[in-house]
Structures are given as structure tokens and as C-alpha cells.
A and B are shown apart, each in its own frame.
Chain A
Amino acid sequence: MNQLLTATTANNLYWFGRYVERMEAILIELSDLFDRIVDVDNSAGLHFYTRLGIALEYKDARDFINVALFGEHGANLVALAYNARENAIISRSYIDAEAFGTIIELYRLLEHESKNMYSVDFDFVDTIMTRISAIWGSLNHRIKRRNSDYFIRIGKLVEKVDFNLRQGCDNEFVDVILEEIDTMAALLVPSYRRVDTSGMERDALIAEVNAKIERIIAS
């Protein structure tokens, strides 16, 4: 637990974890939404993106995949991969080489496909998912965790909580993850103080989980 890191690097690692997790969470949703658009309800994708504050327009399931991945909105996968890549480049000395290489490849692939005149199909989503799984797998190689690993993992879990709260997920699931975040935070900073979140309203809980990193990294 004595690995040194600057606050900037710790932040970059944290945000690397968040952006990769955000990509994965969106892709998992896309998989479900794609089926629902095909089988049940053409407007299924609209509700999900509305909860993210994005007004999406699409014609059919295939169009939905393309607009979701490459459309001009904040959950655009190219933009998310770009942000993950930038954070990885800055903190690359602390990231597993294979995970680093995979995010570079992933961004390149997404950027290339976003400029392709032909639309992608669902196989492409599977390809991206496989690469993201490879990133998480590479990051879990080490038996002994270092501080850098904890920051990535905290980023991943904070994003998971944030995303699920916004999607209306139940609090029990959130509590389990918050417990893990607090455990890691206490390992990083012994003086870290936990905040009792029981009974907190959703918006307050979102604010609290997003503020955790500020109590771990000294300004």
C-alpha cells in the first residue's frame, strides 16, 4: 500500500476507471434495448436516453445502434473512449500495458468506424464489449493490489453506482458497492471518514458518491 502517486495521476486513474465502466454500462444497456426495439417497442431506446438527459432520434434498431454509438451527444462511445484514452496516456506508467494497449486500440477502432460510411451492426457492439472485458481482465492480473489499482477500481465502482442510481436501481445493490468503495478508500487514506448514506434521497446519494474521491485525494 505504499505506492506513491501524484494527485493528478490518481485522478487520471480514477477517471480512466469511470470512463471504461461508463462505456461498458451503456453497451450492456444497448444490448437489452436493441432486443426490445426489435421485438417489443420501437421507442424503448428513447426512455433510457431520456434518463441520461439525451434526446435521441432513430428510425429502427440498426439506426439506434449507430446513433447511440456515434451520435452527437454526451454518451457517444467515441467521446467516452477518447476520454478514457487521454486519462490512460497521462497515467500510463501505472496501468497494465495490455489494458493500456487495448484502450488505445478501442478508441482507434471506434473512431475509424464513426467515419465509416456504412453503418455498424450489433456484432460491432460485441467486439467493443470483448475489448472492454479484456481491459478489466488485464487490470485484474496482479495478485497484490497497488494504490493505482484501487483508484481505477474506485472509479469503476463510483461510475457503477452513479449510473445505476440514475437508472432507478434499488438501494441494496448500491449499498454493497458503497461498502466496497469505502473499504478501499480507508486502505488508501487511513483517516478517511465514511458518510452514513442510509435514508439519503437519490440526488443526495449521487452527490455523495461523486464527492468520495475528493475525500481520498488531497487537493
Chain B
Amino acid sequence: MLEPNTLLSQRFWDIFSKQNRSKIERFQSYMDKFAVNFNLYKDGAFIERALPFDVIPRIIEAQEFNKIERGLSQRIMALNAFLEDLYTDQKIIKEGIIPEAFIHQAKGFLRDFVGFSPAKKIRTHINGIDLVKDTVSGEWMILEDNLRVPSGASYPLSIRDTYRKIYPDFFEQLSIRPISNYPDYLREAMEYVNTGGINVVLTPGRFNSAYYEHSYLAQQLGAELVRGNKLVVENKVLYFKNFNGAKIRVGAVYRRLDDEFIDPLHFNAESLIGVPGIIEAYLAGNVALLNAVGNGVADDKGIYYFVPQMIRYYLGEEPILSNAPTYLPYFETDKKYIFENIHKLVIKDVAEAGGYGVLFGHTMTKLQLEDIKSLIAAQPRRFIAQELIEFYDERCYIGGEIAPRKADFRAYVVMGESPKVWNCGLTRYAMEEGNYLVNSSQGGGFKDTWVIEETK
């Protein structure tokens, strides 16, 4: 279902109708020329490809976005408080808000890090929160929190400039909030927790799916892009190895690799992309890691269920934005509901991401549903179930025509001294009509997102 047009969105279409559509192909030329890629691995093969782009932006009216902004700031404050509490005092467990066993079974919870508090007690520096707009309530709903290494901000950031050059009329006639401050947000967040030294962006390397983003953001925020083998730890201090042999102290690392790979001495011993000893430097307070180690527990889809309780517990406020209705088979009453309604629910594996491990009950056979019930009964902590949210389709320009496609919205919140919500985000759309999986790693495309003031 398409969202009804408003006066403001109608103004977009009025301007669009007067534009030369043959210029649309210039966007693809730009992305090809500058290798604005999100690479894929398929059947073991590395496929270099531009992220598909749709020229029709998602339009969010400023007033509506202001509520999203408040809701996301609130959510990130609560999640940061939760992580800090979980790795220090664990009051939320002691007071029975979240069952202890539930936390301990979370794959992303790192017991070794209990007792450690990072610089300025900030753990959620760079966050990607996935939302959809529900067709029933007309409200935005949170689908997922990504507090480890969320990617995607560079794509709308780099295409916006091109949009302004190709179709300036929109920017002259509509009051579209500017977005070029995202690298400033990142820089401020890094500087805020920097322990003394340069800022670096740690990348797994050229064959990572988001390498374009790593190099683009490093350049934009003025940090050095570096692979793990060019960093070294000596006496619990992290250094950047310059080409001339000089060692330069590093104060903050925007790491674009997961906990598991960041330090072969502490995590996966076979990791070739990490930095041996970086965790020792981190625990000694000699370097800041963005995001903090151990955030994976908050990305756990089972923990997501408890975020509204966290907001009430830590902030004493009611959540401004709702979760999608979610059930945990870990609780008997929820399990009963899931088993009775599994044919219409969405089942998610809590440890998966990127659209993997998602099953839609309405598309499954009876036999498949019985199989998944058996799996849930055997491993109740491994799954959650959610009501299928009928979220709005976005209008996409496909094959010269406007066509509806399911689309979500990843908003970015960067936390330095306080959370800042970027006036943009990654609107991801599914390539096929009716498909609910919009993730880039599932072949989905992206749109720019325009937050527009009512008056110019």
C-alpha cells in the first residue's frame, strides 16, 4: 500500500513532472564512475556492484521527523544506559527487568568485559536504527537496533550532491534539510572519546562489501583509513605505523569490523584483519573503540523486546516510538501464542542480521511450520516472533514507470556528548514487488531521504 500524498509530497511531484527524465541515468553514471559500490559475495565469488539507486526520494515531513528524532534520541540514551549498566552494576538484572538467564544466553554478551567502562561511559557512538511506517496506525515503528557496525550512511551522503547538481529545482523550491554534517557528527563523536592521538577508521580491506563506505567516510571525516596490520600495540598503547617507520599514537578507532575479528589475542585467534593487543589497550583506557566492544548484546533481537522497558527503567519516560509487536518463545504465554498463530507471524533468528534468518509464516507450508515449531520448542531463546507489519510501500521509478516497493528506513544516531539524529538516512527498498526483504545484502536498493520543512 502506498502512503497517501500530502500537500508537501504533491509539491515534489509537481516539480518532478517538469524535470527532464533522461537525466536520471546520470545518477547511475555517477555511481559507476566513482565506484559507489556495495559488493556482494555470491557462491563464493566476489561481485563488485553499485548499490541500486532509485531517483524518487522518501519524503518525511519535518514535523513527523521531529518525533522520530526525539524517539531515537530517547532510545539510544536508554540503550547506552543499558549497556553501561549491563557491563558494570547489572541493576536491570538484579531488579528483574530482564531475566538473567536471558542475558547470559545472548551471543553478543561478553562476560570478560563486565567491570569495564569505556571513555566517558559512551558505548553507542554510531547507531543505525531500522524503522518502518505502519499502514494501520500511520506511526513509525522500530524493527531493529544496530549498535555494532551499522553501514549505509555514505550512500545517501554521496548521492545528495549529485542530486543537487542534476536536479537543483527541488532544492531551490523545497526546504530540504541539509545532510552534509554527518562526517562532522562522526568527527565530534570520535574527538569526544579520543584518549589522545589521531583518529583512524579500521577496515577489513578492499574486499569488504562496504569498503567504499570505509574509504569515503575516512576521507570525509579526516581520519586515516587503515588495515589491522598497520596498527601496532606497544605497552598497551595503540600506534599507527607511518610509511617512514614512525609510530603515531592512536586515540580513537572507528572500527568497521565485528568484535569477533578485532583482536586475535582476545577473540578469534585466526583473525587476520584485527590488531593483536588492541583489546588490552582498550581495557587500559588508552584508546577508544567506536562502537564499544560487547554492544552485540543490544543488537540481539531478543533483547530488542525489552527496549521499551529499558526506556522506562533508565529514563523514567514512556517510549516515544514503539517496537513492532514481538513475542518471545522463552516465555510460556508468548510461546503458546506463537504456536497458535505461527502461520501469520514473522520468525527471526536472534543472532542473524542482514535479512538472514527471517521466515514469513504466511509463505510456509504446514510441514515447514511444524519444523520451525520443533526448532522453537528445542531452542526458545534462539527465536523471536513478530506480527507481520504491513508497512507502506515507497514509489519507485522502475523501467520508466512509478511502481510500489516495500521500503524501510535506517536512521543514524551519532552519540558524542549527546545523541544527534542525522536529517537523512538510508531508505532501502526491495527489488521485487511484494518482497519484504529490503536489505542491501539481499540485493535491495536505496533511495535518498528528504526531511522537508513545510514552508520555504
Interface of A is mostly: helix
Bound together, the chains give a CA A90 to CA B214 distance in angstroms of 11
If A100-B34, A104-B34, A217-B243 touch, whether A8 touches B227 (CB-CB below 8 Å) is yes
If A4-B248, A93-B218 touch, whether A101 touches B33 (CB-CB below 8 Å) is yes
Bound together, the chains give a CA A115 to CA B216 distance in angstroms of 31
State how many angstroms separate the Cβ of B202 from the closest Cβ of chain A.
Answer: 12
Q: Is the CB of A189 within 8 A of B244?
A: yes
Q: Which B336-393 residues have C-beta < 8 A from chain A?
A: none
> For B206, what are the chain A residues with a Cβ–Cβ distance below 8 Å?
86, 89-90
11 A–B contacts from the bound complex (CB under 8 Å): A4-B198, A4-B224, A7-B241, A8-B230, A86-B206, A92-B35, A92-B215, A92-B219, A104-B34, A105-B33, A217-B243
Q: Which A1-34 residues have C-beta < 8 A from chain B?
A: 4-10
> For A40, what are the chain B residues with a Cβ–Cβ distance below 8 Å?
none
Which of A10, A92, A104, A105 has the most chain B CB atoms closer than 10 A to its own CB? Answer: A92
Bound together, the chains give a CA A132 to CA B54 distance in angstroms of 32
State how many angstroms separate the Cβ of B35 from the closest Cβ of chain A.
Answer: 5
Interface residue B226 (Cβ < 8 Å from any Cβ of A): yes
> Which residues of B are interface residues toward A (Cβ below 8 A)?
32-35, 198, 206, 211, 215-216, 218-219, 224-227, 229-230, 240-245, 248
Residue ID in chain A nearest B226 by CB atoms: A6
Interface residue A36 (Cβ < 8 Å from any Cβ of B): no
State how many angstroms separate the Cβ of A106 from the closest Cβ of chain B.
Answer: 10
> For A147, what are the chain B residues with a Cβ–Cβ distance below 8 Å?
243
Residue ID in chain A nearest B30 by CB atoms: A101
Residue ID in chain B nearest A100 by CB atoms: B34
If A100-B34, A104-B34 touch, whether A6 touches B219 (CB-CB below 8 Å) is no
Q: Which 7 A-B pairs have the closest CB atoms?
A: A218-B245, A93-B219, A6-B230, A10-B243, A101-B33, A93-B215, A7-B243
Residue ID in chain A nearest B240 by CB atoms: A4
> Which residues of A are interface residues toward B (Cβ below 8 A)?
4-10, 86, 89-90, 92-94, 97, 100-102, 104-105, 108, 147, 188-189, 216-218
> For B227, what are the chain A residues with a Cβ–Cβ distance below 8 Å?
6, 8
State how many angstroms separate the Cβ of A59 from the closest Cβ of chain B.
Answer: 35
Q: Is the CB of B241 within 8 A of A6?
A: yes
> For A102, what are the chain B residues with a Cβ–Cβ distance below 8 Å?
33
Contact of A6 among B198, B211, B243 (CB under 8 A): B243
State how many angstroms separate the Cβ of A182 from the closest Cβ of chain B.
Answer: 16
If A7-B230, A104-B33, A105-B33 touch, whether A93 touches B245 (CB-CB below 8 Å) is no
> For A8, what are the chain B residues with a Cβ–Cβ distance below 8 Å?
227, 229-230
Q: Is the CB of B243 within 8 A of A9?
A: yes
Bound together, the chains give a CA A6 to CA B32 distance in angstroms of 27
Contact of A101 among B34, B215, B230, B241 (CB under 8 A): B34
> For A90, what are the chain B residues with a Cβ–Cβ distance below 8 Å?
206
Q: Is the CB of A108 within 8 A of B243?
A: no
Known: A4-B242, A93-B215, A101-B33. 15 other contacts (CB 8 A): A5-B224, A6-B224, A6-B227, A6-B240, A8-B230, A10-B243, A86-B206, A89-B206, A89-B211, A93-B218, A104-B32, A104-B33, A188-B243, A218-B244, A218-B245
